[in-house]
């Protein structure tokens, strides 16, 4: 046991989106292994995945099905998630007020807006820590006031002013920040302040999925396409991928289109070299992938880098544009920015071919990034000892 961990009680409020929860659960495992007394607040969706020994688990509901009807048709992709963040914020504050347990420190997923929440919780600000999922800076304007619609009920209930939960991340805040990155791979690392602690990242130890029966064709390269769990609704992009590699003798293509896309209704003419699924156990598949077309989500990007898979990055929103830019600047992949070019089937095909042709260079540069992440992760015990002194 880490001596500094003795008797230290930490509450971790897990992320409510897939990528955020992945970051939360790995930090939880690390804290428990070091001997900290950890309690977790986790929503119903992810509670089954929080299988960590020696933790106390408090499960709450962030169901917002009754709010869906109020979401306008032109709302951004994060609209329903804004409702979930608002509901989760309400539930978490209520739990903290009701439980009245005195913790030594509180770690919150970054979507929980601590400045406003603490007007209700009234906790010692020195005990509050934000857990990020990628970068603490951005070069892209992230503000979208439409996302605040889902926060209105919680604002009214507590008389607080939660704002766009994505945009607030990049404003200066006094709270300590755990950044699952390295200085080397962080955007403008020279501009981060003393509240930022780089703790590296690691790939979640997910269980093997025996139901995933996909087999790689030994005679063709495997191209994997995924725009992630939130932004995977760009059907036109998928059609362009199909057009680019239809009946290719060179490429076998696996597309993961997200759980909300009806495959049978959307894709009426699937070429023989394509497999289209709603979900793929990504870390299980990546060792067999030759090129990965990704939305440049931070977890997907670092998972691919760990597996040494050449990247074609098609960022959709939020920090993905920053992640893609940094990866391309470090010559670890190719970015296709939809805000700058029209991403046609020809553009996609050329990018995939270029990525494969440059795979050895990309792998070398990815290895340097992965090494920097591992070095940062190895410093977690001393970072935690400093923060949780």
Query: Over the stretch 343-358, which tens digit does the pLDDT of each residue have?
Result: 999 999 999 999 999 9
C-alpha–C-alpha distance, residues 225 and 246, integer Å: 14
Q: Is the pLDDT of residue 78 over 80?
A: no
**Mean pLDDT of all residues in the chain?**
92
Percent of the chain with pLDDT over 90: 74
207-243 residue pLDDT tens: 678 889 899 999 999 999 999 876 667 889 999 999 9
CB 114, CB 82: distance < 8 Å: no
Instruction: Quote the pLDDT of residue 27.
Output: 94
CB 334, CB 365: distance < 8 Å: no
CB 173, CB 367: distance < 8 Å: no
Instruction: Quote the pLDDT of residue 381.
Output: 94
Structural domains in the chain?
3-179 (3.40.50.2000), 221-371 (3.40.50.2000)
Integer-rounded Cα Rg, in Å, for the chain is 21
Q: How confident is the model at residue 2 (pLDDT cuts 50, 70, 90)?
A: low
Residues 42-76 as b/e (b if ≥16 CB within 10 A, e otherwise) read bbebbeebbebeebeeeebebebeebeeebeeebe
Longest dimension (CA), the chain: 63
Please state the rounded mean pLDDT for residues 331-346: 96
Angle, alpha carbons 304-226-180 (nearest 5°)? 45
C-alpha–C-alpha distance, residues 212 and 234, integer Å: 24
Please state the rounded mean pLDDT for residues 240-256: 96
Global pTM value: 0.89
Instruction: Quote the pLDDT of residue 226.
Output: 95
């Amino acid at each position: 046991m880490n001596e500094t961990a003795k008797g230290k009680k930490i509450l971790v409020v897990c992320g409510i989106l897939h990528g955020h929860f992945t970051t939360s659960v790995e930090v939880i495992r690390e804290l428990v292994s070091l001997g900290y007394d950890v309690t977790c607040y986790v929503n119903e969706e992810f509670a089954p995945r929080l299988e960590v020994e020696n933790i106390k688990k408090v499960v709450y509901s962030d169901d917002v099905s009754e709010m869906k009807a109020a979401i306008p048709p032109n709302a951004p992709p994060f609209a329903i998630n804004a409702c979930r963040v608002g509901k989760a914020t309400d539930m978490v504050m209520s739990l903290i007020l009701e439980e009245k347990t005195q913790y030594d420190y509180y770690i919150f997923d970054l979507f929980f807006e601590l400045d406003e929440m603490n007007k209700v919780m009234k906790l010692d600000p020195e005990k509050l820590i934000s857990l990020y999922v990628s970068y603490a800076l951005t070069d892209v304007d992230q503000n979208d006031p439409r996302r605040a619609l889902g926060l209105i009920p919680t604002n009214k209930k507590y008389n607080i002013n939660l704002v766009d939960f994505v945009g607030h991340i990049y404003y200066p805040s006094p709270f300590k920040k755990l950044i699952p990155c390295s200085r080397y791979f962080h955007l403008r690392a020279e501009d981060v302040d003393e509240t930022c602690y780089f703790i590296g990242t690691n790939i979640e130890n997910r269980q093997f999925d025996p139901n995933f029966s996909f087999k790689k064709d030994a005679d063709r390269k495997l191209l994997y396409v995924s725009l992630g769990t939130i932004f995977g609704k760009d059907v036109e992009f998928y059609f362009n991928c199909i057009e680019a590699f239809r009946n290719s003798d060179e490429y076998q293509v696996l597309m993961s289109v997200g759980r909300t896309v009806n495959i049978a209704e959307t894709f009426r003419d699937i070429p023989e070299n394509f497999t289209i699924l709603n979900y793929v156990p990504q870390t299980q598949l990546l060792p067999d992938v030759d090129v990965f077309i990704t939305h440049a989500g931070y977890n997907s990007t670092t998972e691919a880098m760990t597996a040494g898979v050449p990247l074609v990055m098609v960022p959709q929103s939020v920090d993905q544009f920053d992640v893609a830019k940094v990866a391309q600047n470090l010559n670890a992949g190719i970015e296709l920015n939809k805000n700058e070019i029209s991403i046609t089937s020809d553009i996609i095909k050329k990018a995939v071919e270029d990525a494969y042709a440059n795979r050895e260079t990309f792998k070398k540069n990815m290895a340097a990034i992965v090494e920097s992440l591992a070095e940062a992760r190895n410093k977690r015990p001393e970072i935690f000892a400093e923060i949780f002194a």
